[in-house]
């Protein structure tokens, strides 16, 4: 007779009822995930890493110096505001400023970028990382994993281990972060009343733009012609000329409707601002956004701005008859001086150039 092994004891089972829940002894143990190998944080060649670190630091210091030079150049190479920069000197000053600003900023960004590249390539471990997609929001366990990986990444970047690189990098970025604040200087000073005046004044002759030749009324002999003139003595002053350009238009007898000194259709003065009721002078700067009005159609007496097609009626105070310009071309009061040359009777009585909100 063979012995039958005893079943393990458990609760007594009644036929027709479900079998009892498995005990802890029956549950198979969950397979444990293999522990990933700890990544190597330091580069294998310590001497090479040290040299790379020093090179990175040197590049960051160079970026810092170039950033400081950028700010210095911006302040030192003054353009625009200075009264010593006139005419050709102003152009040279702009060239110098652009050269200094461009080269120093280029060196700063290049050194910063090269240093960062060497840092990543020679000081951080070369590890490929792939991340599985998962639903949002992240599970708490994933967040913990992220925190862990972030800390690990920070350690791998060597930021905490290499204070020399960290500090010089912060040093390198400081001037670039500061530069936009320095550029705010260009918001001032306020133009005050500069935009309302030009260099034209009583008795200042009008000379041709090309030959700088003063003109007598008889020199403009053909009705229908338009000539660009500038104030005498200002041919080298680019800043003055941006506002002082004027067009002279000669009309046949009876074509010009005088008085011509209108502002948006309203007569602003009863003076006759023309010469012989046949020659009139208007600002060459379009009142829309400031393009030079360069086209004149002599049969209709229309002055056309090529930028956005604003059209002004030269025979009627250069009032706007078409286009986006909001007001007439300002008229320069014109006269003839003691020697018989065309000259200004005064400055413009309205601001020239694009309208701005203060003008109402
Ligand atoms: Fe003349 Fe725009 S600048 S129409």
Q: What is the pLDDT of residues 272-296, one digit of tens each?
A: 788 888 899 999 999 999 999 989 9
Tell me the C-alpha distance between 101 and 104, whole Å. Answer: 5
Same domain, yes or no: 121 and 158: yes
- Please tell me whether the overall predicted TM-score, pTM, comes out greater than 0.75 for this model: no
Query: How far from the centroid of its chain's Cα atoms is residue 147's Cα?
Result: 39
Same domain, yes or no: 207 and 81: no
Same domain, yes or no: 92 and 227: no
**Domain contains 253:** yes
Same domain, yes or no: 169 and 258: no
Q: Is 324 in the pocket of ligand 1 (CB under 6 A)?
A: yes
Q: What is the pLDDT of residues 84-125, one digit of tens each?
A: 555 567 778 888 889 999 999 999 999 999 999 999 999 888
Same domain, yes or no: 223 and 106: no
User: Which structural domain range is residue 99 located in?
Assistant: 46-127+142-187
| CATH classification at residue 260 | 2.102.10.10
Q: Is 304 in the pocket of ligand 1 (CB under 6 A)?
A: no
Tell me the C-alpha distance between 261 and 334, whole Å. Answer: 11
Q: How much distance in Å is there from the Cα of 209 to the middle of ligand 1?
A: 22
DSSP-derived secondary structure letter, 295: E
Ligand 1 atom closest to Cα of residue 305: 1
- Structural domains in the chain (count): 2
**Domain contains 209:** yes
Same domain, yes or no: 173 and 243: no
Tell me the C-alpha distance between 227 and 230, whole Å. Answer: 10
Q: Is 294 in the pocket of ligand 1 (CB under 6 A)?
A: no
**Domain contains 177:** yes
Tell me the C-alpha distance between 60 and 109, whole Å. Answer: 10
Predicted pLDDT of residue 4:
47
Q: What is the pLDDT of residues 164-181, one digit of tens each?
A: 999 999 999 999 999 888
CA distance between the termini of the chain: 122
* Least confident among 20-34, 130-144, 151-165: 20-34
């Amino acid at each position: 007779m063979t012995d039958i092994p005893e079943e393990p004891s458990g609760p007594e089972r009644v036929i027709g009822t479900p079998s009892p829940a498995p005990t802890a002894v029956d549950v198979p143990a969950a397979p444990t995930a293999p522990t990933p190998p700890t990544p190597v944080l330091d580069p294998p060649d310590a001497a090479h890493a040290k040299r790379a670190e020093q090179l990175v630091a040197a590049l960051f210091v160079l970026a810092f110096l170039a950033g400081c030079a950028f700010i210095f150049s911006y302040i030192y190479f003054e353009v625009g505001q200075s009264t010593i920069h006139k005419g050709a000197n102003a152009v040279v000053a702009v060239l110098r400023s652009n050269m200094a600003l461009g080269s120093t900023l280029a060196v700063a960004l290049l050194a910063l970028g090269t240093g960062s590249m060497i840092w990543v390539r020679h000081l951080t471990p070369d590890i490929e990382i792939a991340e599985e997609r998962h639903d949002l929001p992240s599970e708490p366990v994933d967040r913990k994993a992220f925190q862990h990986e972030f800390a690990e990444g920070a350690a791998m970047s060597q930021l905490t281990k290499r204070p020399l690189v960290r500090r010089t990098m912060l040093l390198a970025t400081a001037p670039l972060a500061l530069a936009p604040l320095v550029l705010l200087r260009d918001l001032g000073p306020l133009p005050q009343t500069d935009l309302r005046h030009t260099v034209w004044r009583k008795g200042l002759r009008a000379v041709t733009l090309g030959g700088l030749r003063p003109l007598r009324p008889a020199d403009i002999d053909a009705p229908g012609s338009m000539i660009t003139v500038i104030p005498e003595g200002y041919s080298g002053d680019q800043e003055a000329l941006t506002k002082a350009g004027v067009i002279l238009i000669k009309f046949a007898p009876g074509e010009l409707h005088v008085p011509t000194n209108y502002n948006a259709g309203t007569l602003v003065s009863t003076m006759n601002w023309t010469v012989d009721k046949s020659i009139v002078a208007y600002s060459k700067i379009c009142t829309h956004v400031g393009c030079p009005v360069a086209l004149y159609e002599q049969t209709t007496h229309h002055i056309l701005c090529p930028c956005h097609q604003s059209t002004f009626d030269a025979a009627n105070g250069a009032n706007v008859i078409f286009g986006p310009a909001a007001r007439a071309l300002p008229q320069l009061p014109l006269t003839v001086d003691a020697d018989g040359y065309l000259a200004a009777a005064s400055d413009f009585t309205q601001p020239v150039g694009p309208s701005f909100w203060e003008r109402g």
